[in-house]
Amino acid sequence: MAVNYEDQTILFDFVVKQGNGVKGLIDSGMSCVPQPFVQPPSERIATLNGQTCEAAQPIDLSQLDGPHHKEVAKQIVEAAETLGFFQVVNHGVSIELLELLKTSAHEFFAQPPEKKAIYLKEVSPSKLVKYGTSFVPEKEKAIEWKDYVSMLYTNDHEALQHWPQPCREVALAFLKSSMQMVKRVVEVLMEDVGVRLEEERMNSLMGTKMVNMNYYPTCPSPELTIGVGRHSDMGMLTVLLQDGIGGLYVRLDNGDWAEIPPLNGALVINVGDTLQILSNGKYKSAEHRVRTTNIGSRVSVPIFTAPNPSEKIGPLPQVVKRDGVARYKELLFQDYMNNFFSQPHDGKKSLDFARAD
């Protein structure tokens, strides 16, 4: 199909509104990045950053509930307090499943556009499933070089009924086999601030669960585009499977960016805004972004965990008592979420919404 790359309205309609995605653009033979994807210089990732980061050393979760509990818990706490990112191995999710997830992500996006476009927000047969390109393309100065499908979890039955065919079973298996591990990590983080969450409260704080599949098509000029712009995740913890291509960067305290290197068999975990708010700032939601590449198409599969929309979130009383000040106000998670999704990615600006005046 001939696409007029020069006309920005036609291009936007083709990629975003008709659901051809960035992948459709590449498949149509495009060989030069069109203007709407060209990032302002300040957002480009010009040089490949050689910095390795602490998250290159994975934490062995099989040691968490044995004689080495203290050491492992300390590694988790320290990572959450500093980088906000770490990688884990022996996490309880089978390596075969991780491989299947990457294959089925490729399978989903390899489908013809009309098979994916049925899940565009405006027409999706299910509120649980949404397919699209970039984050909020209508509001962004430049569109992110990424197609995605997101699958919200309510229960097993609905997931198997409504999630898209090529990935429903594996995505559900991934969610179910990681939830216990994620909750255990949250418990460890809470223990360190002297908080034991009742089961009911834990379930409410982790009540929103979503599995995404991200597809970053190969890009002819990676230096002009970004896969995902600078942002933090809004929820509690994100668990992420990335493939071997690489390109996930986290911001360090000194402002530099370091890559979270792909490690076969490992899962990446990062702290979201909600956990930063609950811990009154002790745990850092990590600012991160994704580079594009011309060596191949990259897939990643994050699981986002967040509170129920009706849950009130704010710094935990025990932590405020210890700190002598509440750095964030109490708010309804629904309001935080609405604000988060109403604006383009802009680093950690999302947290301003919760900051105490």
Q: What residues from 89 to 148 belong to the interface with ligand OGA (CB under 6 A)?
A: none
Q: Which residue lies nearer to ligand OGA by CB, 302 or 315?
A: 302
Kindly write out the interface string for residues 157-196 of this chain, putting x where it contacts ligand OGA by CB under 6 A and - elsewhere: ----------------------------------------
Q: Other CB atoms closer than 10 Å to residue 73's CB: what's the count? A: 20
Q: Give the residue, chosen from 233, 259, 273, 311, that forms a contact with ligand OGA under the rule CB under 6 A.
A: 233
Q: Write out the binding residues for Ni ion, residues 169-198 only, by CB under 5 A.
A: none
DSSP 162-179: HS-TTTHHHHHHHHHHHH
On the CB side of 274, how many CA atoms lie within 13 Å of its CA?
31
CA 72 → CA 27, 42, 90, 165, 240, distances in Å?
46, 38, 13, 38, 20
Tokens representing 175 are: 């969610």
**Least distance in angstroms from the C-beta of 233 to ligand OGA:** 5
Which of 192, 233 has the CB closer to ligand OGA? 233
Residue 248 found at the interface with ligand OGA (CB under 6 A)? yes
Under the binding rule (CB under 6 A), the answer on residue 87 touching ligand OGA is no
- Least distance in angstroms from the C-beta of 293 to ligand OGA: 12
273 binds Ni ion (CB under 5 A): no
Hey, is 181 helix, strand or coil? helix
Choose between 72 and 213: whose C-beta lies nearer to ligand OGA. Answer: 213
AA letter at 52: T
Nearer to ligand OGA, 250 or 316 (CB): 250
Partner whose binding site includes residue 290, from Ni ion, ligand OGA, none (CB under 5 to 8 Å by kind): ligand OGA
- Select from Ni ion, ligand OGA, none the partner in contact with residue 214, using the beta carbon and a kind-dependent cut-off of 5 to 8 Å: ligand OGA
> Any contact of residue 144 with Ni ion (CB under 5 A)?
no
Query: Six-digit token pair at 228?
Result: 């995902």
Place of tokens 């710094």: 315
Residues numbered 12 to 71 that lie near Ni ion (CB under 5 A) are: none
- β-strand pairing of 331-332 with 208-216: unpaired
Identity of the amino acid at 176 = K
User: What count of other Cβ atoms lies within 10 Å of the Cβ of residue 227?
Assistant: 26
Interface with ligand OGA (CB under 6 A), residue from 159, 189, 258, 290? 290
305 touches ligand OGA by CB under 6 A: no
Alpha-helical regions (H) of the chain: 8-12, 21-27, 69-81, 95-110, 113-117, 156-162, 168-191, 199-205, 273-278, 317-323, 333-341
Task: Select 220 or 261, whichever has its Cβ closest to ligand OGA.
Answer: 261
Smaller CB separation from Ni ion, 144 or 233: 233
CA atoms in the 13 A half-sphere facing the CB of 321: 6
CB of 286 to ligand OGA, least distance (A): 9
* Closest to Ni ion by CB, 233 or 259: 233
Stretch of residues binding ligand OGA (CB under 6 A), selected from 90-98, 118-126, 240-248, 314-322: 240-248
DSSP string, 62-93: GGTTSTTHHHHHHHHHHHHHTTSEEEEES-SS
Contacted by 300, from Ni ion, ligand OGA, none: CB < 5 to 8 Å by type: ligand OGA
Q: What are phi and psi of 240, to 5 degrees?
A: -130, 130
302 binds ligand OGA (CB under 6 A): yes
Q: Taking CB positions, which residue lies at the least distance from Ni ion?
A: 233
Nearer to ligand OGA, 75 or 242 (CB): 242
Q: Is 233 in the site for Ni ion (CB under 5 A)?
A: yes
Q: From CA 276, how far away is CA 237, in angstroms rounded?
A: 10
CA dist., res. 289 & res. 293, Å (int): 13
Measured distance CA(75)–CA(265) in Å, rounded: 19
Residues that bind ligand OGA (CB under 6 A): 212, 214, 228, 233, 240, 242, 248, 288, 290, 300, 302
* Positions that interact with Ni ion (CB under 5 A): 233
